[in-house]
Amino acid sequence: MDNSSSSSSLVPGVSEASFLQRTLERLSFTQSLKLKLEEAAPVAVIALQRYLSEHSEGQQQLDSYSYDVTVTDGVWRAKCFIHHSLNHFVHTNTLRTGADVRITQCCFVYNERRLGHGYICIEDLSCGSERSALLAHISDVCSLPMLTKHGMERSLVLQSDVPLQLSRKHYLSLWNNDAPEGDVWVTGAPSSDAVLDVSKITLICSLESCFRNASKPLSLLVKIMHKSRLRYYGKFGLKIDYPFQAYFEVADQSGMMSLVLWNELCPEFYQRLSVGTVLYLQNYTLKQSYSNRSRPQMDHHRMKIFNSVEICLNSRNPPSVITVISPKSVLPQWGLPEVSYQFTTRSELDKLTNNSACDIIGLVTFVGRVERVKNKGSKGPEKYWTYRWVHAIDGTSNHPFILEIFSSSQTEIFSRICPMTYLVCTQMRVCQVEGSLSYLTSSCETEIFITGYHKRQPYVNDHKVKTFIQWTKTLKDNIVLQKTAVGGHYCYPHPPPVFTQSITDSSAPVPLVAAADLKKELESLQYREHKKVAIQGQITALRYMKIPNSNDSQAAVQKKVPHVSIDICGQAVQDTYDHLSTGQTLEQPSTTYPEKVSTSRSKRRIQTRCDLTELKATQSLLSCDDVPAKRRVGHKHTEEEQEHREKQCDSESDEVHEWENPTQDSSVLYWESSNWLQQKQDVSEHLTQGGLYHDSISQKFTSDEKNALLQWCNLQPTRWTPQHNTDPIPPGPCPGYYKVTILGINKQIAVDAAYLPVVSSDEPRAVGLRDDPHGNTMVSCLSSGFLCPLGDTASHSDPALPQPEEILATASELEDAHVVCVLDICHLGEDKVEVLISKLYRVTHMSLD
């Protein structure tokens, strides 16, 4: 491996300051084609693209997907391949667009089966957590030239939007497989105004007999009534360049039938075909319908539906001919049916049966962050669904529509849903759950539309849509804005009143996991992946973590605390201070550029504030012997107690995981069980990765911060644009939360979780909560999820909520109590893992069924 520092320009007239150019030149002169860069200059990531990995016979597959990254040093752009050993940096959003990285080791790879093709492979790098300093000075990254090795200037791969590994012809969306990605997907192509000869067409009702007789059917003239999301079915060994499929339900005057768009035709036509589009089809084939698939509910169309046969459109054998008819060329005498809908108001929703379909329109008041969930039923390469929760109102009920919206191959619309927009969702399915309000979830045929996308949609003349529009004209924006929110932790439906587990197969609504399995879940989570799990054991410690208000936070930001790394009991613990203005975390800082990020998938480390001065100031902790718990300032301990507290701070990394504010007093609200001191000696592992972060708290929506808020709650984009250089979002209002230590039932592993109670009915998390009053004991708060009574901005009520010390004073109820805790875990990027407790069950609320 070459460590030389020689450099010279490959292209005359280009500045010697180009790090990328010098690196490529040095690679050209090394004998091993490998290079270790001791003093690597930062480069900015401007694109990160994913595709199915190549798989050779007998080769061990390290990962299902490969990644190309485009970087710039401000002079050149370079498209590079990321070595599979670095893929976990992408999985955790540590390597991301808009940030700087340092390439510390790379090599050059020639394609042995193709002349004139090769690329730089990045084998090691370190990632910065701050926004790129380089990109702040580049107005147009696309204007920078693409760096190529001498003799490879004609390589179209480096210049075009296709993968570096030539066996793949297209990219996939970075975070799911259902969204069109890249230049290969055609949009906005003109429709045909040609005069058609419709005298020799067939009707849908005759296609079943054509299929039985194996006769070639005549041309078809149909209208699209429903459109499904895109489906990617690529897998290793599949010799299809574009393995995509999309279903449409099409109709003519005789009935309705499924149409399937296959493979290469999907990039060419999928985005051009919409509900209401009229098609003239030739050279199509007929096949027996695939029964094991979802279908839209279509009874409201009052048409005959033919399910035994489906229309197939492919690019070969034979090549289908698809003509998209211009709307102005559609003639009434063709007898094509009108698209109809089944809009449901919020007041009518509770009358619908479970799993029935409906369309809705509403004014958005809450938009949750985009999260991901692994598709457990998929075969072959792993797949993730992306989804978000949305609340929308229509004026017919005091409750909003609660919508679980999955990405429906409408990437732009999905990412731009925001409060104060008019939202239409079609073919949503009703979900009825015990103990919560009914909610609606997407189906494969769901389409979504927001303000700016409603024009020319068939539903604009629907009576209920017009009624909704008239209602919105009576609203005042400033009043509605008070009830809006964006992002933050949100999970629905709420856990049921009783935790029930099946005797036969041990199944439960929320999987009950062993403490050791919980550790694996935390370590294997990928970026924005959300899971809900339950763990049984006992609560052994509680601490109230007070969060300074925003004014104090801004003052604290100007007074930075240095970062110190120390080692406690063999665990690396990083001193942290919450840099609020960067909007990264409630407990952890937006760290400075690290010297090195390990390329091995090491265990995630807890980042802990462990300042010796602060340790001494926070040693006045409430023990179980002090119940009722009270805030104690300047309490004098005996020498034995003081020694115990100092030993506790030295041996437990989680004890000092708090947010420091110089103006805050040094008292701490704390409770621990009488046995915890002894039990912790036998604990083999204390899982302290989780916590509460800036991203856990929802924000009020304002039009001025719209773009910044959307970026904050959306997924990291595939490509960087100057619009992504928005100012960071300051943290939302949150006075504090409880850190709960749960000891597993076998007393070998403990885990820390944050408990953030709902304190106002205005919070999105308050919707659907059982409003049964309770006594605000620690147990009742953890069981219900809220403090009683909830305030209400609309009625200007501001009830006196109990203080944390009053709630902690009742924690002795938890002494040695067997409980089941439901945890929501979500990976927020880099090493931030959110672990929140959403419900506690006591033995009296557990059941074997």
Report if residue 623 sits inside a domain: no
Tokens in use for 81? 């391949």
Answer with the one of 334, 363, 383 that is the final residue of a domain. 334
CB atoms within 10 A of CB 302: 8
- Cβ atoms of 232 and 284 within 8 Å: the answer is no
CB-count burial class (<10 Å; 0-12, 13-18, 19+) for 79: buried
The answer to whether residue 218 sits within a structural domain is yes
Does 254 share its domain with 350?
Answer: no
C-beta separation of 713 from 486 below 8 A: yes
What residue type is 783 in one-letter code?
A: S
Same domain, 686 and 798: yes
Amino acid 216: pLDDT: 85
Residue 243 sits in the same domain as residue 309: yes
Instruction: Decide if 836 is inside a domain.
Output: yes
> Of 107, 140, 168, which residue is a domain's last?
168
Shared domain for 120 and 147, answered yes or no, is yes
Q: Supply the DSSP symbol for 151.
A: T
As given in the structure block, the two tokens for residue 758 are 């709902």
Q: Which residues of the chain have pLDDT under 70?
A: 1-16, 56-62, 154-158, 378, 549-667, 690, 792-798
Number of domains in the chain: 4
Return all residues near 304 (Cβ < 8 A) that are at least 6 apart.
205, 254, 255, 256
Q: Are residues 816 and 678 in the same domain?
A: yes
**What pairs with residue 430 in β-bridges?**
440
Tokens 């110089």 sit on residue: 662
* Residues 370 and 467 occupy one common structural domain: yes
> pTM value?
0.85
Q: How far apart are CA 33 and CA 711, in angstroms?
A: 40
Domain of residue 379 covers: 346-486
User: Based on the domain organization, do 148 and 212 belong to the same domain?
Assistant: no
Q: Is residue 762 in some structural domain?
A: yes
Give me the half-sphere count of Cα atoms (radius 13 Å) on the Cβ side of residue 285: 13
Q: What SS3 class is residue 783?
A: helix
Do 379 and 410 have their domain in common? yes
Strand partners, 374: 384
Pair 587, 659: CB distance under 8 Å: yes
Task: Spell 37-54 as b/e; 16+ CB within 10 A means b.
Answer: beebbbbbbbbbbbbbbe
Q: What is the DSSP string of 577-633?
A: ---GGGT--SSS------S---SS-PPP--B----HHHHHHT--PPPGGGPSP---S
Tokens representing residue 621 in the block: 């902790």
State whether 212 and 305 are in the same domain: yes
3-state secondary structure 87-140: HHHHHCCCCCCCEEEEEEEEEEEECCCCCCCEEEEEEEEEEEEEECCCHHHCCC
Burial class (CB in 10 A: 0-12, 13-18, 19+), 271: middle
pLDDT at 429: 97
Q: How far apart are CA 141 and CA 47, in angstroms?
A: 11
Q: From 685, 655, 649, 648, select the one nearest 670 (Cα to Cα).
A: 655
Name which of 768, 755, 780, 764 is nearest 836 in CA terms: 755
CB neighbours of 542 closer than 8 A, spacing ≥ 6?
A: 670, 671, 672, 738, 739, 740, 741, 778, 808, 811, 814
Does residue 791 lie in a domain region? yes
Q: Is residue 505 domain-resident?
A: no
Neighbour count for residue 335 (Cβ, 10 Å): 11
Q: Are residues 132 and 222 in the same domain?
A: no
Position 567 in a domain: no
Together in a domain, 135 and 162: yes
> Domain with 321 in it: what CATH number?
2.40.50.140
Q: Is 238 helix (H, G, I), strand (E, B) or coil?
A: coil
pLDDT of residue 414: 97
pLDDT of residue 508: 74
Residue 586 lies in a domain: no
Determine the pLDDT at residue 696.
95
pLDDT at 129: 76
CB 252 within 8 A of CB 304: no
The whole-angstrom separation of Cα 661 and Cα 463 is 56
Eight-state DSSP code of residue 705: G
Domain stops at, among 168, 189, 218 = 168
Query: Which pLDDT score is estimated for 732?
Result: 79
Look at residue 206 in the predicted model and tell me its pLDDT: 94
Q: Is 435 left (phi over 0), alpha (psi -120 to 50) or beta?
A: left
Quick one: 271 and 148 in the same domain?
A: no
Q: What confidence score (pLDDT) does residue 62 get?
A: 64
